[in-house]
Amino acid sequence: MGVVSMKPVIEQLAARLAQSGIRSSHQRLKVLEYLLGNRNHPTSEQVYTALRRKVPSLCRSTVSNTLALFVQAHLIRIINPDQREPRYDGDMNDHGHFICQTCEAVIDFAVDIGAAPDQTLANCQIYSKCICYHGLCARCAQLTQEA
């Protein structure tokens, strides 16, 4: 069985960055590749930790700056920015998030967020839509009931 080349994937990611007006670099490509390939809603530190062995030249500030650049370009989104450390989501399709207040798990769920709810936002420019529920995930709720 042959080795699958990552070149086409990297070329697609580079094209995606170029379409957003972002210059490609090895570090930026690896950060975007990680976010699109992992649905774990990582923090900046988690992205850094996951990539530092593969990209020895990567530093924490590069990851933070890259994530901020990608958010600004609408390539990724921040979820739950009111927590002590933001988490990032590479899935830009409409969906909601449930965040467990105990274990901090983030669970994606399908939701139709459609158009603006009423005329209040008729003249606004909407760049992203976010539905976020907070509570106890099924596992933590079960543990709470058993305690």
pLDDT in tens, 15-53: 999 999 999 999 999 999 999 999 899 999 999 999 999
| Structural domain total, the chain | 2
d(CA 132, CA 19) in angstroms, rounded, equals 29
Work out the average pLDDT over 2-24.
81
Put simply, whether the predicted model's pTM sits higher than 0.75 gets the answer yes
Instruction: Say which CATH number the domain at 68 has.
Output: 1.10.10.10
Which of 58, 29, 28 has the alpha carbon at shortest distance from 45? 58
- Check whether residue 76 and residue 107 sit in a common domain: no
Domain containing residue 144: 93-147
Residue 105 neighbours by CB under 8 Å, 6+ apart:
99, 137, 139
Instruction: Say which CATH number the domain at 132 has.
Output: 3.30.1490.190
d(CA 147, CA 139) in angstroms, rounded, equals 13
* Winning range, highest mean pLDDT, from 10-14, 44-48, 79-83, 127-131: 44-48
pLDDT in tens, 46-100: 999 999 999 999 999 999 999 999 999 999 999 876 667 899 999 988 899 999 9
- Check whether residue 69 and residue 10 sit in a common domain: yes
d(CA 126, CA 78) in angstroms, rounded, equals 15
- Check whether residue 87 and residue 105 sit in a common domain: no
- Check whether residue 34 and residue 85 sit in a common domain: yes
In the prediction, which pLDDT does 1 show? 47
- Look up residue 30 and give its two tokens: 């690896």
- Look up residue 140 and give its two tokens: 């933590």
